[in-house]
Structure formats: structure tokens, C-alpha cells
Amino acid sequence: MRYASAMRSPRFWLWLHRLGYVTTALMVLELLAIGGGLIYGQFAGYRQLQQERAATRTVEGPLTSNPDSYILFPDAPPPFAGLPPLVALSGDGIRATIQPSFGLAHYRVAMWQPAGAGPAQGVLIIEHRGDERGVDRRPFALPRATYADVLAKIDHWAANWPGSGGDYCCDGTAIGFERVSGPRVLSGSGNCSDHYDALKRLLLQIVRRYAAGKDLPTEDDWTLYPPAPGTGQAPATG
């Protein structure tokens, strides 16, 4: 009887309505929090995508002209150390730095077409990073037609490349390049996108053919592994 009497009390219904209002308000706040979190996550993902594209896009000017470059970071060594400067490439050439996360060496390569009827010229810098540290410099030459075909492919790939959101890898093989053609210089850097993988493979084909040596990469991603014990050959990977 006391319970039924309480239910008929106006005070009871007042507090019941208040409880309903509070519950509704809490539900609204929870929905707003969830919606805000989703919006923030979308915004953060978009901002990260834009940063990755800015770091890996092709830009006008040398590599240092892009402050967001993937391969430039504080205290990093000069990316093209030992290679001819851009002004020495006769207005038609390319420089590249290739930096595998693992293995025994980093590589830098330049190719250019001197004026006249002779072959194209190149130089390969091998920076040994294993127990036997040091730097080797290997000049090489390649036919004009081969050089022209390689640079035509690079020009096609590099032109107006907007960058990629899939180029950030914990490991992989980072690459940076500078392409000079007359007064124009294009540059870019990245790691594991199909775009930069194609450039790395193309340059590796040239180096393996025209700058051959035992200290060249054993893997198609430019990684140089040490010989397997007792074989003198690089161990099988993958």
C-alpha cells in the first residue's frame, strides 16, 4: 500500500522524469563523444595521409628544396656524398641514394650524358656498413641508347607524382633522387610504394650490368647480405 501510495505522489513522478532526463542526457553525451572520436580519427588519418604524400611527392628543385622529404632528417649525412654535383652532370643526368634498412651497404649512383658523341657516364658509390667499413667508388659507362631509354622511363614516372600514402615502412629500402634536364631539376624520395620500387629496380638493373662486382646487392631491393658460412655465396632469403 505504501508503494502504491508513493507512485501516486507527484514528487515520485517528478523524480522519475528527472531521472529520465539525466539518462537521456548521458546517452546524448555518449553519442557525441563517439561521433567526435570518429571525426577526429578521420581527420587524423587524413592529416597523416597528406603528410606522407608531401614527403614522397616529386618536387621542382633539388632534394633539399622539399622540407618534408622522406629521406632527409636531422643529423642525416649528405644523401649524395661522393657523387658529382648537379652542375657537373652536363645538364642531363640523375643522382640517387639507396639506403636498405638491412644488409652490408648503402649505395649512391649517378649517371649523365656528356656533350658529344661518346657513351653516357656513371659512378657508383658503395658505403660498406658491415665489419669492414669503408667507401668504394666505381666509375662505369653505358651506351647512349640505354641511358636515353632509362632516363625516358624515369622522366615518365617522376613527372607530377603527387606522393603516396603507402610509402612509409618501418623497414624497406629508402631512395632519394635528383633528375636534372637542362635548367630543370626534379627530385623525390620514398620507400615501399610501387612507384619508388620501380625506380629502384630500374637503377639496380643498370648497376648490375654496367658496374658489376661482388659487392653489389644480392637482393632485388638493393640489400647486400653476407655470404653463407663455408659457401662464399649470399644466404637464401625469403
| Helix runs in the chain, H state only | 2-7, 10-56, 144-158, 194-210
Give mean pLDDT, residues 166-185.
Answer: 85
pLDDT over 80 (residue 232)? no
Q: Is the pTM of this model over 0.85?
A: no
Q: Looking up cell 649470399, which residue turns up?
A: 234
User: Does residue 234 carry a pLDDT above 60?
Assistant: no
Quick one: average pLDDT of 73-97?
89
Contact call for residues 172 and 191 (beta carbons, < 8 A): yes
- pLDDT score at 39: 52
pLDDT, residue 220, reads 87
Mean per-residue pLDDT, 181-207: 91
Rounded to an integer, the average pLDDT of 207-212 is: 96
Query: What helix, strand, coil percent values describe the chain, rounded to 5?
Result: 40, 20, 40
pLDDT level of residue 32 (50, 70, 90 thresholds): low
The residue that leads in pLDDT, 235 or 94, is: 94
In 24-102, beta strands by DSSP E: 59-60, 92-100
Q: Give residue 186's pLDDT.
A: 94
Residue 11 has pLDDT above 80, yes or no: no
User: Rounded CA gap, 112 and 141, in Å?
Assistant: 10
pLDDT of residue 85: 96
Kindly report, residue by residue over 54-63, the tens digit of the pLDDT: 778 888 999 8
Tell me the β-bridge partners of 184: 181
Residue 34 C-alpha cell reads as 563517439
Segment among 91-100, 169-178, 182-191 with least mean pLDDT: 169-178
Q: What is the pLDDT of residues 143-163, one digit of tens each?
A: 999 999 999 999 998 888 888
- Asked if residue 105 lies in contact with residue 127, where contact means CB atoms within 8 angstroms, the answer is yes
Taking phi first (over 0 means left), then psi (-120 to 50 degrees means alpha), and beta for anything else, what does residue 20 get? alpha
**96-136 pLDDT tens trace:** 999 998 888 999 999 999 988 899 999 999 999 877 788 99
